[in-house]
Amino acid sequence: MVKKISSVPTHVAIIMDGNGRWALSRGLPRLAGHRAGTENLRRIITACVEFGVKYLTIYAFSTENWGRPREEVDGLMHILEDVIDRELAELHKEGVQLRHIGRLERLDPKIQEKVLEAIELTKDNDRLVLNVAFNYGGRDEIICAIQKIIRDDVAPENVTADLVGRYLFTAGVPDPDLIIRTSGELRVSNFLIWQGAYSEWYVTSTYWPDFDKDAFRKALDTYARRDRRYGGLSKIDEDKPQHA
């Protein structure tokens, strides 16, 4: 039986951090951590479908991750390719729609092609939208949006938050309700810096490969108890009689 979670977030975004430390703590190479992290992703996607989360955005490779040793970068590219090869059919069957945010251009043409094929194959699925942030950076996304806005000759007075949203990689996707970061770091690391303006945060010291379904449920339970005020007052305060 599926235990019901009240106020399930529509959009969950995850900074899947701690793969390297997970591997190190087991005396394994860092790439073994990345592989274990990918296995875990499978579990969390299934949990999202089960719990009724409609959008899942995962931070898989940042614009700054190019600065890692060549061997690790190459390994991460292979893992992406591998995941598409091994998991696509199953994801498609589960009703997952794949999308990509970030810049595809810098990736190997063969990988670019695979990503585009996966997006095309799954474009009509609607159980869960899985946004893969790969070669993604929040600042890069905003720069890209500004460039396109200027190229489209948008008049300055027409530049609104809604318009900017439509020029971001995430156009059409609601802002994340909940951002989870595993492995304990208390920073944004260039992830969804525009879209996360009013997201709730959940940080756990658990490394990503160990962040299982129960840990995910705990994050969603915590979210369900949050009071999202958006700069206003909480519902309880609003209902109280006001005295001038």
> Per CB under 6 A, does 17 bind ligand IPE?
yes
Which residue number, 17 or 141, has a Cβ lying nearer to ligand IPE? 17
Between 19 and 195, name the residue whose CB sits nearer to ligand IPE. Answer: 19
For 16, 45, 65, 121, 172, the CA distances from 216, given in Å and listed in that order, are 12, 11, 25, 28, 25
**Near ligand IPE in 158-177, by CB under 6 A:** none
87 binding Mg ion? (CB under 5 A): no
Burial of 125 (0-12, 13-18, 19+ CB in 10 A): middle
**Interface of this chain with ligand IPE, residues 79 to 98, rule: CB under 6 A:** none
The CA distance from 19 to 25, in Å, is 10
Task: Work out how close the CB of 125 gets to ligand IPE at its nearest, in angstroms, rounded to a whole number.
Answer: 24
Q: CB nearer to Mg ion: give 22 or 167.
A: 22
- The piece of 11-19, 144-152, 158-166, 195-203 that touches ligand IPE (CB under 6 A) is 11-19
Closest CA relative to residue 16, chosen from 90, 86, 83: 83
- Judged by CB under 6 A, does residue 76 bind ligand IPE? yes
Element (H, E) at 84: helix 70-93
- Which of 15, 36, 44, 220 binds ligand IPE (CB under 6 A)? It is 15
Count the neighbouring beta carbons within 10 Å of the beta carbon of residue 114: 18
Binding status of residue 185 toward ligand IPE by CB under 6 A: yes
Spacing of C-alpha 203 from chain mean position: 14
- What is the spatial distance between Cα 107 and Cα 60, in angstroms, rounded to a whole number? 14
Q: Decide if 177 is catalytic.
A: no
For residues 3 and 50, is the Cβ–Cβ distance under 8 A? Answer: no
Pairing of strands 128-136, 96-101: parallel
Binding partner of residue 19 among ligand IPE, Mg ion, none, CB cut-off 5 to 8 Å per kind: ligand IPE
β-bridge partners, 180: 14, 202
The CA-CA-CA angle for residues 72, 77, 78, to 5°, reads: 95
Decide if residue 16 touches ligand IPE (CB under 6 A): yes
Of the ranges 13-21, 120-128, 195-203, 221-229, which one interacts with ligand IPE (CB under 6 A)? 13-21
The CA–CA distances, whole Å, from 18 to 26, 78, 85, 105, 171 equal 13, 19, 24, 27, 29
Which 17-76 residues touch Mg ion, going by CB under 5 A? 17
Contact partner at residue 123 from ligand IPE, Mg ion, none, CB < 5 to 8 Å by partner kind: none
- Whichever of 122 and 182 has its CB closer to Mg ion, that residue is 182
Residue number of the CB closest to Mg ion reads 17
Active site residue 82: no
Q: Which of 12, 44, 56, 61 touches ligand IPE by CB under 6 A?
A: 61
Residues that are catalytic:
17, 65
Contacts with ligand IPE by CB under 6 A lie at: 15-21, 59-62, 65, 76, 183, 185, 187, 189
